[in-house]
Structure 1
Amino acid sequence: MKTIYSILYIPLNATLGERLSIGILMTNGKDYYFKYSLDKLNAIKGIINTEKIHIIKSYLRALEKEVNFEDDSVLFHKELVNLSNWVNETYLSYLSKYSNNIIQFSNPKIIDIDLNENNFRRLFEKYVYKFDIGLKEDEKNVNVLDTVKKYLYPIIEKNVNIDITLTSLNFKNLFAPIEINFFGVNNVPVAGQTFDFDKKHYYLENDVTRYISLAKALELEGIKNGKYFVLGKEPNKMNKRSHNMWKHIRDSNFLKFIDVDEYEIVEEYIKEHNVRPYFGEERIDKRFIRS
């Protein structure tokens, strides 16, 4: 079987024909490989508006979900009969001519190599970016926090306090210390916390309860109508209790659930509402005090 590949581009300036390679799709008619660079996508956020970034990421994730599945290898690939309906030379050639202004496909090219992980990696690094293998299966429990630290923190660190522990010294009605990923204020408090919804239900419930206790402590001090972000991923549906808790939080009017892949929503809110750090630089015994 012949191996073909198509490079995916983000158009930057239609008039000048400027575009940026963001991913690559490769097939031999039986096996299918697809990957895009999240690092490269985040690097261009300053020149593309937030709404378009959302659309691009949703499109790429949907494509990745259709083509790929995660296994123990460093790469994602899949054999699917239905993919031959569109991941083929004819249809990719069509996409290269009529793709929209969100994602463009290059005209598929035939390459005289076997389709395997190593060859795909080489092609990806040649035409797209360095190959990031991502987290292994046993590291997924920290994926949410790692994503927030890597991509969201650098953008919002001037607007909020990062990774702080709040106690009754900060808010008298806070009866137990709570660690918060970020904390700021505009006219109302703005907090954000990451959750691993796949952890044991007892520990998850305790984490959520403590986060809610922060909001209640603030309300008792007359600081109401706060914005409380929860960043995470939908848990496995087989984990019914945790999945139900995730659904309650997702549908809540009190907490604002954000899929960690959509962290730009938090960034946009913080920037548009001119959020600033809740606490000043002064510290007593390494604890923040109220400004």
Structure 2
Amino acid sequence: MKTFYTLLKVRVNQLSEDSLTVGLILYNDLNFQVGFSKHKISAAKSLLDIDGRLLDLTIKEIHSKLLNSNQDLEKYRYSLVEVGNQFNESYFEYLAKYSNGYLMFSQPKYIEVKNDEVNFKQLFKLFVDNTVETTEVIEDEKRLLEKEFIQRVEDNLIAKVVDRVHTHYKFDNNSIPTLLSSFDLDCVGQNGVLVGAKAMSFTHSKEKLHKGLNTYISVIAHLSTKYKKSLEKNDFYLIVDEPKQGTAEHVLWSQLRKSEDILKVIPSEEASIVADKIKDKKASVFI
């Protein structure tokens, strides 16, 4: 199986066509490895005449698409269904030829090595930088952010109301027939009105976030109807930390903040607001 590599470069000067090599993609028909140099990206952003956050967003999208492609290829690896790899040599040849913005792709080059982690790191040091931020590192950082986020919610909210209301309550299609899959609500209680909260990490994809939000709203609507509570008078919260500006997640976060008819948006550091509301309302278990 042939292995190819492509270099990712940032054109820091359109007139002179000066560029910095910031990343490497190593691939064959079954797998991609991609890595970036943090300090090369920082250097490139300092030289660009555009908002550096656009570069961060582009790199994030490249990483996400290649990672999703890896997952799809692995899923159907031993299947009778043949799944074509859209990110192949021809695709990168096209990008190399027609990428005329600030981010460029070099022509893919065949290399007589295995597509493994050892060879990837050696090539990265040769072409890009001594320090590599691979997809594994990015995913580790993402998991750490999620872990810290969940812990803040536990400390600021769940620990304070666990003996008062339902916590980490799981709804499924037995309790709500319209649910296609189970849904966990961090806490919910009742006393005159419904009070509840759902924590969501905006490190997930935009599609997954939309699905989670739509399900949360469906759960609220179902509970309000079943227990004859007013949607306007209920107190439901969405606990979410502000994503990086310039990202699709930040746009969604901003839209939610502007429309708080059903959900009030608060950061994890302020999750104790929900605990105080539960105590003030003297909410309790009811399901």
Q: What's the TM-score, normalizing by structure 2? A: 0.49
Question: Which is higher, the Rg of structure 1 or of structure 2?
Answer: 2
Which structure: greater helix fraction?
2
Q: What's the TM-score, normalizing by structure 1? A: 0.48
